[in-house]
Structure 1
Amino acid sequence: MEWLSHWGLPFLRLNEDLYEDVFVDYIQNIVRIKDVDTKDIKVVWFRKFPNILMDEERDVIQKQIYKSVINFRIREGISFREYLFQNLDDNNVKWLTNPFFANENKLLQMKAAQRNGLNIPETYILTSKKEIINLLKNKQEYITKPFENCMHLMFRGKSIGMKTTVINSYIKDIPNEFPPSLIQKRIDKKYELRIFFLMGKFFTAKICDEDLSEVDHRINMIYLKGRFENFNLPTEIEYKLCKVLQEIGLNCASIDMIIDSNDEYFFLEINPTGQFTYHSYYNNTYLEKEVALALKQLYETA
């Protein structure tokens, strides 16, 4: 925001207050956000979906009414949010990350990557312990992760974070039947790459883990067992990633890849609203300025 202010560009920032600061005249098709008519908005940077319920409100509903009310409120909030996004789109705003294409489904993303010539991990969708046992006969390590993004689970008042996990040593704890789950052969990684894509430009951080036995690099970073370095992607990989992002419809996103021990590149996933601040902070790439410049460019050409 400091850069936008520096360049004298008008802007609004909305978080959870989105639902409090919107006026809608549905009959006249008038929508105002903080007294600004959406017809006057030229550019929108979609960063995250706002929370529909605040934590305090959620707790009150859980204790005093019932969880189904929470689900109802969430569905209502999503419906209004979709209407607001469509209103902005109808007014021909220029999106930096279009929320209509902010799909985080890894299964769809990996298929798009394959269609555009990128390697993906050996992938299975399994529903039973028997299938996993048969898979483990290959004497390889396999990992599991969610179909979409990880989330924090609440249990007895404590937050439990998800992480990518090797399943081989947990076979006794796996139920005989379970919902469809994503299983992948573990890649013998040399480096992980975190790539921030912004309107045709790639900003890539190479993650150098000291402990390669840990699958999820975030654990290493918690214990300061790794570092970030700037990295230049091969032109061929950039071209293929551009084709994937064009197919999905994104002009801004974060991409995860792995370089294996044979220097082969593997596509893992795309986060349409992924993080970039650690890349900017540790690698001195000033991505906040790059994002502001992109918004400035979209605004001046709207």
Structure 2
Amino acid sequence: MILIKSNAQDYSTTQVIKWLLHLEKPYLRINDTTPIDNITTDEDDISITADAITFNTKDIQSYWYRRGAWASTQRGVLGNIKQRWLYHYLKYFTKEAEKDIVELIESQLQGNALNTFLNSSNINKVKVLKSCRALDIAVPETTLTNTREGVSKFIQIHGDVITKAVNNIEPNIKGECFIDVTTKLITQDNVGQLPEKFHISIFQKLIKKQFEIRTFFLVDRFYSMAIFSQSDDQTKVDFRNYNFQKPNRVVPYNLPMNIESKLRKLLAEYTLKSASLDLIYSEEGAYIFLEINPIGQYDMVSVPCNYYLDLEIAKHL
């Protein structure tokens, strides 16, 4: 049986499951809202009951971690605690304990896993950039700072910069409100609009580009797409500032073999069998690595480039 860990809203999970049904492959989908009612161990095997369905890790031939956290096993346990400080302390304690439980479960599945919750949710962007430099993968000049003065000094050295969050953050939708964190341009003209101190963020030298590249890695193959975002002021800094009225032109793309080889080593270092990667092809003709997102959407690459990635994932599982 195939075990899929996802959330109820994920479109890509549903599309892969349609192919699993077509291929007659049995599967079990557990969402982040699926309550874990019981977990027991018997020597090396783990038995899990979720939403009235019981399965054993020894019966899982393949595991796909797509997105979302495992549901809490502590729901309702802390409901009678009135002291606010004690409630938050015990909530933190139980969440830390649950991380160990998830690690135990996934340790039984990782041999045939297409990523895990632990390796997909703990990607450190700054650490990845350090790994890139060790592998001779070009990256932008980068600094971490939480002060306007720090940003201003970085701009004086490198010119215009972009800023992004330190960690990967999934978009949040509440009713008609859509919240997302994208890359923004900071120049000497607008740096004064920043507060003197703010949450620590990544700042990088702005790389002038010919085009951007989004590539999806699956097991051992890269599925890449060139995005001609530089001709639109709205998407020039980051193609994710989508122009839905006039979308960027996109085409299938083949990365050079030496770039793919280096990226394979990078992904192996973080034990990732599936991930989306962003790069820039600069005006000088250099490939500049930006970041890895193990949980990012791949449909935007699959559909326009006719890669049929939902089918490829289903066949791998």
TM bracket (short chain): 0.7 to 0.9
Hey, what's the Cα distance between the residues in 1 that align with 2:64 and 2:222?
18
**Secondary structure of 2:241's partner?**
helix
State yes or no: 1:31 paired with 2:47: yes
1:137-286 to 2 correspondence within 5 Å? 137-138=156-157, 140-152=159-171, 158-168=177-187, 169-209=189-229, 210-211=231-232, 214-286=236-308
Partner of 2:266: helix, strand, or coil?
helix
CA distance in structure 1 between the partners assigned to 2:287 and 2:86 by the alignment: 45
Structure 1, unpaired ranges of 5+: 296-302
Q: Is the 8 A contact 1:197 1:252 kept in 2?
A: yes
SS at match of 1:12: strand
Aligned to 1:116: 135
Deviates more, 1:88-97 or 1:189-198: 88-97
Q: Give a deviation string over 1:3-39, Cα, whole Å, max 9, x none.
A: 2222222111111243x25421358764224222222
| Distance in 2 (alpha carbons) for counterparts of 1:72 and 1:216 | 41
Structure 2: 5+ residue runs without aligned partners?
1-16
Alpha-carbon distance in 1 for matches of 2:242, 2:111: 41
Give, as a single letter, the amino acid of the residue that structure 2 aligns with 1:263.
Answer: G
**Could you tell me whether the CA contact under 8 Å between 2:211 and 2:282 is conserved in 1?**
yes
- 1:76 is matched with which residue? 94
The residue that corresponds to 1:10 in the other structure is 26
Q: Is the contact made by 2:32 and 2:70 (CA closer than 8 Å) also made in structure 1?
A: yes
- Listed one character per residue, the Cα deviations across residues 90-139 of structure 1 (whole Å, up to 9, x for unaligned) are 36641101333223211011111111111000111223222222233347
Deviation at 1:277, TM superposition (A): 1.2
Once the two structures are TM-superposed, the CA of residue 223 in structure 1 deviates from its matched residue by 3.6
User: How big is the shift at 1:158?
Assistant: 4.5
Question: Which residue is equivalent to 2:315?
Answer: 293
Q: Distance in 1 between matches of 2:193 and 2:219?
A: 45
Identity of aligned residues (%): 28
Q: TM-score, normalised by structure 1?
A: 0.82
Q: Which moved more, 1:24-33 or 1:212-221?
A: 24-33
TM-score between the two structures when normalised by the length of structure 2 = 0.79
Check the 8 A contact 1:229/1:283 in 2, yes or no. Answer: yes
More helix by share: 1
| Alpha-carbon distance between aligned partners in 2 of 1:183 and 1:204, rounded to the nearest angstrom | 26
Return the alpha-carbon distance in structure 1 between the equivalents of residues 85 and 306 of structure 2. 45
- Root-mean-square deviation (Å): 3.1
Deviation at 1:75, TM superposition (A): 6.3
| Contact 2:158 2:205 (8 Å CA) reproduced | no
Does the 8 A contact of 1:206 with 1:230 survive in 2? yes
246-255 or 74-83, which deviates more: 74-83
Provide the rounded CA distance (Å) in 1 between the counterparts of 2:110 and 2:282: 43
Asked if 1:100 is matched to 2:91, the reply is no
Q: Quick check: 2:63–2:109 contact (8 Å CA) kept in 1?
A: no
Structure 1 stretch displaced more, 280-289 or 27-36: 27-36
Given the alignment of the two structures, is residue 44 of structure 1 paired with residue 63 of structure 2, yes or no? yes
CA distance in 2, matches of 1:67, 1:10: 45
Contact 1:193-1:259 within 8 A present in 2 as well: yes
RCO greater where, 1 or 2, for CA within 8 Å and sep 6 or more?
1
Question: What letter corresponds to residue 180 of structure 1 in structure 2?
Answer: I
| Count of aligned pairs between the two proteins | 285
CA distance in 2, matches of 1:31, 1:11: 16
Check 1:101–1:174 CA distance in 2 against 1; reply closer, same or farther (3 A cut). same
What secondary structure does 1:242 align onto?
A: helix
